[in-house]
Every structure is written in C-alpha cells, then in structure tokens.
Amino acid sequence: MKKLLNAAFIYMLIGVASGLFYREFTKLNDFPEGQFTQLGLAHTHLLTLGFIVLLIALALEKTFALSATPKLFAWFFWLYNAGVVLTSAMLVWHGSLTVLGEESSKMISGIAGLGHMLLTAGMIVFFVALRKAVARSHAGAGAAGVAA
C-alpha cells in the first residue's frame, strides 16, 4: 500500500509542477495563448493517470488486498508506471518542441505509442489481479456465511 501511496504523491507533485512549467515556459517563449501544444496535456495526464488512478488503486488494495497476488501486482505496478512516465515524457518533449517552433519527429509518436501500450498492459494486469482479489474476497465471505 505504501508503494501506491508514495507513487500517487510523486505523480501529484510532478503533475502540479508540469502545469507550472507549461504556463511559465509558454510565457517565456511568447507562445500564442490559445494555440495548442501537447505540453499542456502532460499536466492532466500526470494528475489523472498517475495521481487519481493510483489513489483509486490504493482504495481497491485496501478493500480487496490486490497485492495478495504479488507477481500480478508487481507487473501491474511497473508496467503501468512505465507507461505513465513514458507517455508523459513524450508529451513534454513534443510540446516543448512545439513551443520552441522546432519540428518533431515520428520517433516521438512511436515512443508515446509504446507508453500507451504499457499503460494498456498494466491496466489489463490490474483487472486480472482485481478479478482474483474480488473472487477471493467473495469466497471468503461465502465461507464465513456458511460457518455462521
């Protein structure tokens, strides 16, 4: 549980900092207000995918003991976090290039796509672990009901 809490806290800090970076970097470079850049998306991705999703996972861990299947939980945690970091880093990189008026390469899109694949794989593993934890919880509740 502590791992989820610490990761959520770190994503909250980085998410807020990325919003500050977006605002100040665009002002510093006289980037036209209202013009789109992916730099602004890093803030919401980090806060939503990192902070909020991991807080939800923390609540589900508390309720269903997801980490009782340690291999699945570890796969979820590392795949998902690698996906969030990779995706967010590519948003910052591509967005910064846009603000600076530089051309972006196809490589950035490819790496961002890999980040999204890791996020997807992490979420699939998360739901496999959640399904097992709910079944375990349901089986335990059923056994307790029979014993009473």
Domain boundaries, the chain: 2-135
HEC readout, the chain: CHHHHHHHHHHHHHHHHHHHHHHHHHHHCCCCCCCCCCHHHHHHHHHHHHHHHHHHHHHHHHHHCHHHCHHHHHHHHHHHHHHHHHHHHHHHHHHHHHHHCCCCCHHHHHHHHHHHHHHHHHHHHHHHHHHHHHHHHHHHHHHHHHHC
Q: From the CA atom positions of the chain, what is the Rg in Å? A: 19
Residue 41 has pLDDT above 70, yes or no: yes
So what's the pLDDT on residue 148? 46
So what's the pLDDT on residue 37? 94
Summarised one tens digit per residue, pLDDT across range 61-73 is 999 999 999 999 9
Sign for the CA dihedral angle at 10, 7, 82, 41 comes to negative
Phi/psi region, residue 132 (left: phi>0; alpha: psi -120 to 50; beta: rest), is alpha
Summarised one tens digit per residue, pLDDT across range 53-101 is 999 999 999 999 999 999 999 999 999 999 999 999 999 999 999 999 9
- Binning pLDDT at 50, 70 and 90, where does residue 137 land? confident
